[in-house]
Each structure stands twice: as structure tokens, then as C-alpha cells.
Structure 1
Amino acid sequence: MYAFFLSTAVIFVAELGDKSQLMAMTFATRYRARDVIIGITAATAIVHLASVGIGYWIGDSFADSQDTIAIVAGVAFLGFAAWTWRGDELTEDEADKARRSTGWAILAVGVAFFLAELGDKTMLATITLATQEGWLGTWIGSTVGMVAADALAIAVGAVLGKRLPERAIKIGATSAFVLFGILLILEGAGVL
């Protein structure tokens, strides 16, 4: 359960202000919110299953070096903090493609999210979490965290439109990554 709760929280925070959230809001202007959520859930479950597989393999392969893995994971989280602070924007071209996509809504959303998540910080954060936590809890938690964050974006976007407090979201998400990174580094160094 710890892996589930930790990965839900970390991925939820990682997704705040991410390009995927902007894609979710854009798709929701064209398709029913239910179809967008189903497409996001399917794509996220597939990408994060591969992510936890990679992370579990890394953690298992270097089981004797858990302190080193914790320090590397902490540094990675500090990198995710910098990535979050820098920002991740949906280009006008990407927004136009999302609005113009035709065919089945769930398939269009699912494919778009699958491709957008490959190599994204939420995928890398999931790999990082899976190096130390159980793969099943990390997989389910990371999927729930991402879908929850994107569902929130759809709901908030519907209510507030483009008046989202982007700076506050960026500061909060960056701070959370810094906190997780420092805690992991301290844990790996034997301080905690």
C-alpha cells in the first residue's frame, strides 16, 4: 500500500502543469470528458506498466546498491523539480492536432497520450519509484495519480477556462519534487 500511496502522490504532483494536462483540457473541448478519461487511463496504464517493469528490473539488478539507488533517485527527483520549474507547454500545433483529430474519441485520446508520455517526466518518475517500491502498487498508484491529475485539469479547465494559477501550480509541484529528492538523498546517505 505504501508504494500505491507514494506513487499516486508523486505522479499526481508531477502531472500538475504538465503538457498532458493541457492535452486533456484540449481533448475535453472536443470529446466527452468520459471518453477522454477512458483514453487517458488506457494509455497511462500501458506506459506505466512498461515503466515499472524497467524500474523493477533496475532495482532488482542493483539490489546490493539500494543506498546508491536512493541517492540517484533523489538526484533524479531534483532534476524533475528543475524540469517542472522550466515548464512544459503544449504548442499551438499540438493543440490544433488534438482539436482536429477525427475517428473514435477514446482511440484518438489514447494514442495521443501514449505517444506524449513516452520519455515524459511522469514516465521517468514512475521508473524511479519502481526501483525501490513494489511494482504493482507503483503501477496502480502512478496510473491513478496521473488520471486524477488529468481529470482535475478537465474539471478545472471547464470551470475556469484559461485562468488557471499556473505559477502557483508550478511552485507547488517543484517544491514537492525538491522535498522528495532531498528525502531520498538523505535516506541513501544514511541520515534518515
Structure 2
Amino acid sequence: MEAFLVSTGIVALAEIGDKTQLLAFILAAKFRKPVPIIVGILVATLVNHGFAGAVGTWVTTLVGPETLRWVLGVSFIAMAIWTLIPDKFDEEDAKLARFGVFGTTVVAFFLAEMGDKTQIATVALAAQYQDLAVVVAGTTFGMMLANVPAVILGDRIAHRMPVRLVHAVAAAIFAILGLATLFGAGASLGF
């Protein structure tokens, strides 16, 4: 349950103001069809985070427990710093309209999520908890928690959200996870 809750919380907070959330706002404004956009976000996230989680789980087979502890600890601290850097959205991510609303959303979200902080967090969380299904379920749920309101409420909530505060909280959580990992909090998990 811890893996699910931490994965959900980390990704939901990290996603606030992220380029994929900005993409959700743009797709909602452009198409005004929330259901195919929401389903597209779900499909893209499941595929993207499923792959990322598999990579994270695979990495644990390549390195020893002590090395993994240091890699994960430093990775979480790097994620804390990265979370504080505002994202820039590339308008090209939303220019795929020839695929229809659902197809455009799937392709745009999948591509926008490649190398994004929530994808990297999924890799690290899967390595940390070594529970692929639970971590991917949590990170996907976190993405949906952040993006479904963006699609449904759009501009009505975009300007009222304290993005800096949310990013600071997410960064603090990443930093705490990093420090806890470095100081041996994952010892019971084998690293």
C-alpha cells in the first residue's frame, strides 16, 4: 500500500504545472471533448509508465543493493531539484490533430512524457519498491488526479493553483525520499 500511495502522491504533485498538464489544458481547450482526452491520457500513461516501471524493475537486477541505494537516493534528490525548475511546453506536442481526439491525446501524451520527471520518477519508484504493478497503478492514478481536473475544469482552475507551492511540496517529498534512501530506509527491501 505504501508503494501505491507514495507513487500516487509524488506523481500527482510533480504533475501540477508540468508540461503534460499544460498539454491537457490545451487539448481540452482545442477539442472540448473531455472523455476521449481523459481515456487517451490514461492509455498513454499506462503504456509509458508501464515501460518506465519495467526499466526500474530491470535495473534492480543489474546492480548490487549498496550501489542501488546510492543511485536511488541521488536520483530522488535530483528529482527534487528538477521539480523546482518550471517546465516549458512545446506547441508541437499538441499539433497531431489528424489522429482524432483520442489518438492525438495518446500520441501527444506519450511523447511529452518521454524523459519527463514523472517518467523518471516511475523508474526510480519501481526500483525502490520492486513492485511494478503497484507502482505503475500509483503513478498512473497520480497522473489522472492531476490531469482529469485540468481537462474538465480547464482555465477555471489553471490560474488559481499555487503551482510554486505544489512544486515545493513535491520537491520536499522527493528530497525526503532521497535522504531516507541514502540513510538506509530501504534496507528492509534489500538495498
Answering whether residue 34 of structure 2 is matched by residue 37 of structure 1, we say: no
- 1:6-45 superposed matches below 5 A: 6-31=6-31, 32-45=33-46
1:9–1:61: structure 2 CA closer, same or farther, 3 Å change rule?
same
What is aligned with 2:110? Answer: 114
How far residue 164 of structure 1 moved from its aligned partner, in angstroms, is: 3.1
What is aligned with 2:85? Answer: 86
**Worse-matched range after superposition: 152-161 or 131-140:** 152-161
Number of aligned positions between the proteins:
185
What is aligned with 1:70? Answer: 69
Q: Does the CA-based 8 Å contact 1:26-1:99 persist in structure 2?
A: no
Partners of 1:110 and 1:181 in 2: how far apart?
32
Q: Does the CA-based 8 Å contact 1:2-1:137 persist in structure 2?
A: no
Partners of 2:161 and 2:8 in 1: how far apart?
22
CA deviations over 1:141-181 (Å, ceiling 9, x no partner):
11111121111333453423434322222222222222222
Partners of 2:134 and 2:163 in 1: how far apart?
30
Q: Which amino acid aligns with 1:58?
A: V
How far residue 2 of structure 1 moved from its aligned partner, in angstroms, is: 2.9
Q: Which amino acid aligns with 1:150?
A: N
TM-score by length of 2: 0.86
1:187–1:154: structure 2 CA closer, same or farther, 3 Å change rule?
farther
2:136 alignment partner, SS class: helix
Partners of 1:189 and 1:105 in 2: how far apart?
42
In structure 1, stretches of 5+ residues that fail to align are: none
1:99–1:57: structure 2 CA closer, same or farther, 3 Å change rule?
closer
In structure 2, stretches of 5+ residues that fail to align are: none
Q: Does the CA-based 8 Å contact 2:45-2:140 persist in structure 1?
A: yes
What is aligned with 2:123? Answer: 127
- 1:131-142 superposed matches below 5 A: 131-133=127-129, 134-142=131-139
Partners of 1:38 and 1:171 in 2: how far apart?
29
How many percent identity over aligned positions? Answer: 34
Partners of 2:94 and 2:52 in 1: how far apart?
25
Partners of 2:40 and 2:168 in 1: how far apart?
29
TM-score by length of 1: 0.85
What is aligned with 1:104? Answer: 100
1:166–1:109: structure 2 CA closer, same or farther, 3 Å change rule?
same
Partners of 1:168 and 1:156 in 2: how far apart?
20
